[in-house]
Structure 1
C-alpha cells in the first residue's frame, strides 16, 4: 500500500507549490470523483472527439493542491500557492491504498506543469529491443500513430507516468539528460510505490549540473529499456519466490532464496518455450515444476497440451494446474489411508 503518511509529511514540509497527477485507470470514474471532491483539475489526454466515455474516464488528471473549486481565485491556476493540508487530506481519502498518485513540486505553477506533462504522455521506445510492454507501456487510445520516417527505428507508446509503480521502474533507469526531460519545469517528483520497488517513498530532484534536455519527444535508449526490464524481472522473481513458499510449503521448506531463484530461472526458460506470457501463467508453471520436481517439463503429453490445447498457453497451463492439484490431493488422501 502507498505510504500516504510519509508523503503528506514530505509535501507539507516542502512549503512550495505541489501538484498531483492521478492515474484514472485505477479509479471507476476519476473525473467524477475529483468533481465531487471540489478539486481543480485538468485531463492530460487530448480528446480529439473520438474518445469513448470509458477512455476519457480512465485518462490521467492533473489536480491542484493549493485551492478547491469554491476558491475565489480558482481560475488563476498559474499562480501557485502553498499546499492546502485540507486538500491533501481529501486527496489521500480519494486515493486510499492505490499507487495512483505522483506528486510534482513546481514553482512555475500548474499551467506550466500541465503543458509540460502533455509533452511526456507519449514516449518512444527502440523497436530493436524485445520487451514486456506490461503495465508501464500501453498504446494511447486517443493518440494517432507516428509516421515520421526519422523515427522508423522507434515506436510511439503511452508513458503511464501517473502510475507510481511505473515511475519506480522507469525513472531510476534514465540517463541524466532524459531525467531532466521528464522533470521539465519541476524541481522534484515524489511517489510511493509497491514494496517490490521501494519500502519508502521515492523522489527525483533537479540537480544544478543537469544538462539541457534534448528537444522533441522522450526517446529511450536500448540501455535504458534494458535496465527497466531487468528491474521488472527481478521484482517478478521475488514475487514468485514468495508465491512458491506460500503455495508449496513442504517442497520449499529449507530451500534458500538462491536455490529458488535457480529453479525460477529454469522455470522461466521452459515456460517461455511453451509460449507462456503473463506473470500469473509463469507462477502456475513454477508451481507445477516444484510440485512435480521438474518432471512435468519432460512430459510430451503435458507440454503439447499447453502449446496446442486449443486456447492460449497461459490458459492451458491454468487447466493443467487444476488437474495436477486434484491429482496431488487424491494421492495424498490415498497415502493417508495406507
Structure 2
C-alpha cells in the first residue's frame, strides 16, 4: 500500500510551470484561505474572482480567483502558495486573460443526473433528468477525479481556448498535465454534462479517494505506544471500520475518519461495545457530531471495561 498511502506531494516549481506556453495563469481555491484576494494584494498580486459581485459574499470569497502569472516573481509567489495544499490549477491560454476568464466562468456549473429522482439513469426507457450544480474546477482533486472520465468532446469543452491545464491532485495520482491536440473536436457550446455511467465511475473514484484520506489520517495519528503498524494495517483498518460506521449512521468523511481511529485504538472492539454504540446513537445529536467527542469517551470506557485494546498496543 505504499503507493496508496504516499503522503509526499509533487512539488510545483517555477521551472515546471515555465515549460508551458505563455501566457500562464493560475486559478486559486479561496476555500483554502481566510481571504485569498486580500492575501494576494499584500504580495502585490492582483486577482480576479470567477464569481460576479452581488451574490453571497462568503461564497465569492471561498470561490475561485484567477491570477495572471505574468512574471517570475508572481510565479514564484504562487508556487509557494500552491505547495501548501491542493489549491491551484494552472492554465496556458494564448488568447489571454479576458478570454480565459470568460471561458472559465462558463464551466463554473455542470449538469449531472438528478439523484433525487428514482431510477433516473435511462435504464427504464425514460429520458434522464439533470440538475445544475457547482463544478469546482479550481480544486485540483476535483479535476483529477473528473478529467479521466470525460469524452474527447467533453474534454475539449473543459479546455476551451486553453492549450494546457496542469495541477497537483494528491488524491488522484499527483501532478497531472493535460493538453489539447490537433484531432480534438472543437469545443461545444452549452453546459458541460456528465452522464449516469460517468457519475457511477466518479462515485467509485471519490470513494477510493475518501478512503485514502482516512487512511492517511490514521497513519498520521498512530499513537506512539502502538507497534507493528504499517501501510497494509492502516489500509485494512480503514476498510474494516466502514461496516460499523454504516450501521451507526456515521456519514461524513471526518466522522468516519474519527470512527476508524476509535476502531483502530480498540483493535476493532469498539463496534461491539454497547456503551460505545449507545453513546453514538443516543439521539441527542447526529452520529457524526457525537463521534467528535467519542474518542476520549471510548478510550476511557475501553480501558475501564472488558474491551481493552488488543495485540497491537
The normalised TM-score by structure 2 is 0.79
**Correspondence for 1:164 among 116, 137, 140:** 140
Q: Does 1:38 align with 2:44?
A: yes
Shift of 1:313: 0.1
Superposition map of 1:29-68 within 5 A = 29-47=35-53, 49-52=54-57, 54-66=58-70
Residues 94, 40 of structure 1: alpha-carbon distance in 2 compared, 3 angstrom cutoff: same
Counterpart Cα distance in 2 of 1:4 and 1:308: 46
**Correspondence for 2:169 among 184, 188, 193:** 193
* CA contact 1:309–1:316 (8 Å) conserved in 2: no
* SS of corresponding position for 1:281: helix
**Correspondence for 1:124 among 91, 111, 116:** 111
Counterpart Cα distance in 2 of 1:254 and 1:35: 45
Residues 235, 308 of structure 1: alpha-carbon distance in 2 compared, 3 angstrom cutoff: same
**Correspondence for 1:216 among 177, 190, 197:** 190
Shift of 1:128: 2.8
Any unmatched runs of 5+ in structure 1? 67-83, 131-150
Q: How big is each residue's C-alpha offset from its partner over 1:165-224, in whole Å with a ceiling of 9 and x where there is no partner? A: 222222223222211111111111011232x3334x211111222234443111112222
Residues 260, 192 of structure 1: alpha-carbon distance in 2 compared, 3 angstrom cutoff: closer
Q: Which moved more, 1:101-110 or 1:320-329?
A: 320-329
**Correspondence for 1:103 among 81, 90, 101:** 90
Q: How big is each residue's C-alpha offset from its partner over 1:141-160, in whole Å with a ceiling of 9 and x where there is no partner? A: xxxxxxxxxx9822221111
* SS of corresponding position for 1:192: strand
Counterpart Cα distance in 1 of 2:238 and 2:18: 44
Q: How big is each residue's C-alpha offset from its partner over 1:258-295, in whole Å with a ceiling of 9 and x where there is no partner? A: x6655533421221221111222212222333444444
| Superposed CA RMSD | 3.2
* SS of corresponding position for 2:241: helix
Shift of 1:17: 1.4
Residues 311, 221 of structure 1: alpha-carbon distance in 2 compared, 3 angstrom cutoff: same
Residues 295, 99 of structure 1: alpha-carbon distance in 2 compared, 3 angstrom cutoff: closer
Q: How big is each residue's C-alpha offset from its partner over 1:10-42, in whole Å with a ceiling of 9 and x where there is no partner? A: 221334211111112222222223333333432
Superposition map of 1:134-173 within 5 A = 153-173=129-149
Counterpart Cα distance in 2 of 1:93 and 1:288: 36
Residues 198, 225 of structure 1: alpha-carbon distance in 2 compared, 3 angstrom cutoff: same
Counterpart Cα distance in 1 of 2:42 and 2:288: 41
* CA contact 1:173–1:228 (8 Å) conserved in 2: yes
Shift of 1:43: 1.5
Counterpart Cα distance in 1 of 2:234 and 2:38: 46
* SS of corresponding position for 2:192: coil
The normalised TM-score by structure 1 is 0.74
* SS of corresponding position for 1:31: helix
Counterpart Cα distance in 1 of 2:160 and 2:116: 27
* CA contact 2:147–2:155 (8 Å) conserved in 1: yes
Any unmatched runs of 5+ in structure 2? 1-7, 118-126
Q: Determine the structure 1 residue equivalent to 2:298.
A: 324
Q: Determine the structure 1 residue equivalent to 2:209.
A: 235
* CA contact 1:189–1:203 (8 Å) conserved in 2: yes
Q: Determine the structure 2 residue equivalent to 1:133.
A: none
Q: Determine the structure 2 residue equivalent to 1:184.
A: 160
Q: Does 1:17 align with 2:4?
A: no
